[in-house]
Amino acid sequence: MAELHDLSALEQAEGIRSGELSPVELTEHYLARIDRLDDTLGAFITRTPEIARKQAAEAESEAAAARREGRELPPLHGVPVPMKDLHQVAGVRCTMGSRALAEHVPEVDHHVAGKLRAAGTILLGKTNTPEFGLPCYTENGFAPPARTPWDLARSAGGSSGGAAAAVAGGLAPLAHGSDGGGSIRIPASACGLYGIKPSRGRISGGPLMHDITGLATSGPLARTVADAATLLDVMAGAMPGDPYAAPSLPPGETFASYALRDPGRLRIAWLTGAPIPGVEIHPDCRTAADDTAALLTGLGHEVEQLSLPSDDSIREAFTRVWSVMAANQPVPPEGEELLMPLTRYLRERGGQVSGTDFARSMYAFRMLAQSLADGLMPPGTGYDVILSPTLATPPVAVGELRNDADPQAEFTALGSFTPFTALCNATGQPAVNVPLHWNAEGLPIGVMLAGRYGDEATLIALSAQLEQARPWAARKPALW
Q: Which residues belong to the active site?
A: 84, 159, 183
Is 127 within 8 Å of 45 (Cβ atoms)? yes
Coil, strand or helix: which one is 304? strand
- Going by their DSSP bridges, the two strands 431-438 and 302-306 should be labelled as unpaired
Burial (CB < 10 A; 0-12, 13-18, 19+), residue 51, is middle
- Measured CA to CA, the distance from residue 376 to residue 167 in angstroms comes to 35
Instruction: Give the number of C-alpha atoms closer than 13 A to the C-alpha of residue 456, restricted to the C-beta side.
Output: 34
Rounded distance between C-alpha atoms, residue 135 and residue 129, angstroms? 9
Distance between CA atoms of residues 366 and 356, nearest Å: 15
* DSSP bridge pairs for 44: 127
> Can you state the angle between helices 283-298 and 456-469, rounded to 10 degrees?
90
Rounded CA separation 345/327 (Å): 9
Q: Which of 450, 447, 468, 472 is nearest to 459 (CA)?
A: 450
Residue 227: C-alpha distances to residues 81, 193, 343, 350 (Å): 11, 11, 34, 38
Burial class (CB in 10 A: 0-12, 13-18, 19+), 356: exposed
